[in-house]
Homo-oligomer: A and B are copies of this chain.
Amino acid sequence: MTDALTDLLDAVARGAISPSHAADRVRALSAPPVEDLGFARIDHDRARRQGFPEVVFGEGKTADHIVAIAEGIVTRGHPLLATRVTPSVWNAISPRLRNARYWPEARVVTCAGANPVPPGSGVIAVVAAGTSDLPVAEEAAVSAEAMGNAVERIYDVGVAGLHRLLAEHERLRAARVVIVVAGMEGALPSVVGGLVAAPVVAVPTSVGYGASFGGLAALLAMLNSCASGVAVMNIDNGFGAAAHAS
């Protein structure tokens, strides 16, 4: 903003623009490029500020709202990433988002933008403890790919059958970041964290029974990991892990 401001004030000094006009411009320089849809404000500035445009969180939104926001993003050339989109909502929106693609296990919709996403460096490994954790793991994997990253999927390697995990040791070691998705007792991130030097992002899932309390047991276990360097996302938040890792 500094340069634009100095240029503007030079113009005022030269008499090229009037002071009152310049005052408007000063205010405009700091006004964010927010598009107001009535029911929501799209933050088009986010791509510049944060490296990726606003992501549509589909849960609780109507198909009309998702389409309107998605069109607002796509028409500016940004790539589209929408999470928590149910099949029925996808059926409603797919005719109106021609180039979009649906990933049913991940419940994610993606659409490449006119402006290419800069490629990420290195590989992100997405590790899942059991088959019930796959929807969250896939949300992480597809989101990470949409943000331009190469992804390695390593699934069904829970700690009660350790040889399955050890057999994948080399793929784990090769990753720049490791996302570990697990429910029940949430022990996998600690074990993975002890095997690799890369940062580990742990995602507890709501998979579990009895005293798992909707993922709370796994969440607490991950927060208390005895492996240093394990950071934790909210329960079932696969997308957030991808955003952090990306």
Residues of B within 8 A of A226 (CB): 129-130, 158-160, 184-185, 187
Q: Report the bound CA distance from A31 to B219 in whole Å.
A: 32
- Cβ of A26 within 8 Å of any chain B Cβ, yes or no, is yes
Asked whether A215 and B220 contact (CB < 8 A) given A9-B12, A34-B163, A130-B226, the answer is no
Chain A, 42-70, CB within 8 A of any chain B CB:
43, 45-46, 49-51, 55, 59-61, 65
Q: Are B39 and A190 in contact (CB under 8 A)?
A: no
Residue of B nearest to A201 (CB): B231
CB < 8 Å neighbour of A159 from B34, B41, B191: B191
- Cβ of A131 within 8 Å of any chain B Cβ, yes or no, is yes
Chain A, 1-59, CB within 8 A of any chain B CB:
2, 5-6, 9-10, 12-13, 15, 18-20, 22-23, 26, 30-32, 34, 39-41, 43, 45-46, 49-51, 55, 59
- The interface stretch among A72-80, A96-104, A108-116, A206-214 is A206-214
Q: Whole-angstrom distance from the CB of A38 to the nearest CB of chain B?
A: 10
Q: Are A194 and B224 in contact (CB under 8 A)?
A: no
Residue of B nearest to A34 (CB): B164
Q: Report the bound CA distance from A191 to B157 in whole Å.
A: 12
- Cβ of A196 within 8 Å of any chain B Cβ, yes or no, is yes
Residue of B nearest to A200 (CB): B244
Q: A212-246, CB under 8 A of B: which get 1 and which 0?
A: 11011111111111111111111111011101111
Q: Are A211 and B225 in contact (CB under 8 A)?
A: no
User: What would 11 more interface pairs be, CB under 8 Å, given A32-B167, A159-B187, A160-B194?
Assistant: A9-B23, A31-B163, A32-B164, A34-B167, A40-B156, A43-B161, A45-B163, A185-B190, A186-B224, A213-B220, A231-B244
Give the 3 A-B residue pairs with the shortest CB-CB distance, closest first: A210-B235, A187-B187, A231-B231
